[in-house]
Amino acid sequence: MCTTCGCGPDNVRIEGAQMREHSHGHEHAHGHDHGHAHAHAHPHEHEHAHNHDHAHEHNHAPGRRVRIEQDILRENDRYALANRTRLRAHGAFALNLVSSPGSGKTSLLVRTIEALKDELAIAVIEGDQQTSNDAERVRAAGAPAVQINTGKGCHLDAHMVGHALDRLPPLDNSLLLIENVGNLVCPASFDLGEAHKVVVLSVTEGEDKPLKYPDMFAAADLMLLNKTDLLPHLDFDVDAALDYARRVNPRIQALCVSARSGEGFAQWLDWIRAGCGAARALRPDAR
């Protein structure tokens, strides 16, 4: 359970996978029919047949709540490390796209896929509470996608992503795009095994979002300021938005883009290409 917001793992569904309420029963771990070695080992030395027994304890004394949250994030980090090891072994470049609902993440993904699908192998993991609408849009654009429905949950975690990786084609030298659930709070705390978090801020939102949600902008390596084609019709201060983001995170990079018009996409695509090249160079068998 997420101790920040109280969401739990109930009703998590991943296309083609058996999750059984995300119980860590690992029914998927021993009967793989995949042809790969599968570095996503879900560190099975956990002594936990607990089905998250600790989840109900979040209403107890404040000290116990802090400990429980630390335990949850520590366990997530173990799965994230397994995901990262697996992705590195394949030379895959993974991005975790995070934002408020309605920022245009899926439109960005679709345009990105259409621009790069002839030069890069691309796969997508889609996170939403319900529906497979976004995964269907991604597939129509030309990339394989696995939909994760989080049910009552407000974010993806590394264990869910590990299951989804099992359902995707081989990831050799590929670009993996993970579209997180629309939420600027909890996804900031959960490492999925990605190379970078990319936060998408739309010009239809307030330019002070980085100050209101500092943890997310502090965790991100790149900010995409999206829907810039609408700027002539809005009272949005681009310079202020960039300044606020850099106050929170001086190292954050920023690009102004429009998924509709294509403005700024050349720089975004070049950033991805550079990341893919770096990921291929880190592959253990790279020469």
| Residue that is written with structure tokens 């606020």 in the block | 244
pTM of the entire predicted model: 0.80
Residues 166/169/172/174 CA torsion (nearest 10 deg):
-100
Q: 26: pLDDT confidence band, cut at 50, 70 and 90? A: very low
Q: Give the sign of the dihedral formed by CA 275, CA 281, CA 282, CA 284.
A: positive
Token reading at 242 = 């960039």
Q: Taking residues 10-37, what's their average pLDDT?
A: 49
Q: Give the sign of the dihedral formed by CA 102, CA 105, CA 110, CA 114.
A: positive
Encode pLDDT of 228-284 as tens digits: 999 999 999 999 999 999 999 999 999 999 999 999 999 999 999 999 999 999 999
- What is the spatial distance between Cα 214 and Cα 50, in angstroms, rounded to a whole number? 33
- What is the spatial distance between Cα 25 and Cα 43, in angstroms, rounded to a whole number? 12
C-alpha dist (Å) from residue 172 to 32, 117, 162, 276, 283: 19, 14, 16, 11, 9
Q: Using alpha carbons, select from 138, 146, 139, 177 the residue that is nearest to residue 164.
A: 146
Q: Are 14 and 178 in contact (CB under 8 A)?
A: no
Percent of the chain with pLDDT over 70: 77
The total number of residues shown for the chain amounts to: 287
Encode pLDDT of 120-148 as tens digits: 999 999 999 999 999 999 999 999 999 99
Q: 154: pLDDT confidence band, cut at 50, 70 and 90? A: confident
The larger pLDDT score, comparing residue 47 to residue 285, is at 285
C-alpha dist (Å) from residue 227 to 20, 108, 198, 232, 282: 39, 10, 16, 11, 34
List CB contacts of 169: < 8 A, sequence separation 6 or more. Answer: 121, 123, 144
